[in-house]
Amino acid sequence: MSKRKVAIIGSGNIGTDLMIKIMRNSELLEMGILVGIDPASDGLARAERMGVATTAKGMDGLIELPIWNEIELVFDATSAKAHAHHHSLVEKFPSKRIIDLTPAAIGPYLVPVVNFSEHGDLQNVNMVTCGGQATIPIVAAVSKIAKVHYGEIVASIASKSAGPGTRANIDEFTETTAQAIEKVGGADKGKAIIVLNPAEPPMVMRDTVFTLSEVCDQDAIRKSIHEMVESVQKYVPGYTLHQEVQFEIIPEDQAVFIEGLGHRHGLKTTVLLQVKGAGHYLPEYAGNLDIMTSAALATGERMVSLQNA
């Protein structure tokens, strides 16, 4: 089976790591070109050393190149603002598809292990955020067993792993992740918090997930969460439970107030996660970036598999 050529827009940390993942690990995708806007970027230089075509003229420049005719998938690893322009260009070519790694969310939110079957055939899909890819599977796992009133996630990442793109999109991160907790995770109300941890040496990504659901079988929830963790591990091997799942009953006479929902009681589930990167281009502590590129790669491969089916 011949591989499908892809373009990566963005020659920063995420784009470069994704390029290396595709070249090392993918049996279905082939690097066509890495696209940037800074001719002096390390990503473009590395691509050239690895024999990958490059351009520093952005998405507009890519469309003018002959290789554009061979590209089937575009991965956008730039910024939410830039993605709006990139989408406007790609949508003119119905046979090409774009996987958005920014918080722009022009296309529907997609978490491979949760809702690929719903959106895998669309032209534009959004990979939510690093925190979303790490935590929404857990909220969805609880939602399989019981009605989730509220889902809250706290993503703690090493300050060194938060580049200019991440820092410029903090507001979009919290808004996009919260919305996806509801639309993909199944919670009535979602909230997201991101913490840039300045610790030295840098800490690996840690995520805490809180859900408040209807009271149900705790063993069933625990089993669902463990199964979901195993599913994510198939494309993010460094994704693990940091501690065993914890439960607490919130009685009706101690109901908590949730903005937009009012008072709710039920079963509080707490899940502590750790995401260690694969160390391809980025250090192992940068699990926040690794889970985004891994999820995007898994999505691209599933799209190609769906087309071949």
Instruction: List residues with catalytic annotation.
Output: 130
**Which letter, b or e, does each residue of 214-250 get, where b requires 16 or more Cβ atoms within 10 Å of its Cβ?**
eeeebeebbebbeebbebbeebbebbeeeeebeeeee
Matching residue, tokens 């469309």 = 63
Question: How far, in Å, CA of 305 to CA of 298, rounded?
Answer: 10
**Of 307, 297, 259, which is closest to residue 27 (Cα–Cα)?**
297
**Of 41, 125, 130, 26, which is closest to residue 76 (Cα–Cα)?**
125
With 0-12 / 13-18 / 19 or more C-beta atoms within 10 angstroms meaning exposed / middle / buried, residue 309 is exposed
Q: What values do phi and psi take at 120, rounded to 5? A: -65, -15
- Cβ neighbours of residue 121 closer than 8 Å, sequence gap 6 or more: 303, 306
**Of 130, 134, 75, 128, which is closest to residue 99 (Cα–Cα)?**
75
Task: Please name the helix (run of DSSP H) or strand (run of DSSP E) that holds residue 254, with its range, or none.
Answer: none
> Taking a C-beta distance cutoff of 8 angstroms, is the pair 144, 188 a contact?
no
Three-class secondary structure of residue 234 per DSSP: coil
Q: What values do phi and psi take at 87, rounded to 5? A: -60, -40
> Taking a C-beta distance cutoff of 8 angstroms, is the pair 80, 104 a contact?
yes
Task: Please name the helix (run of DSSP H) or strand (run of DSSP E) that holds residue 125, with its range, or none.
Answer: strand 124-126
- Cβ neighbours of residue 258 closer than 8 Å, sequence gap 6 or more: 149, 150, 189, 212, 264
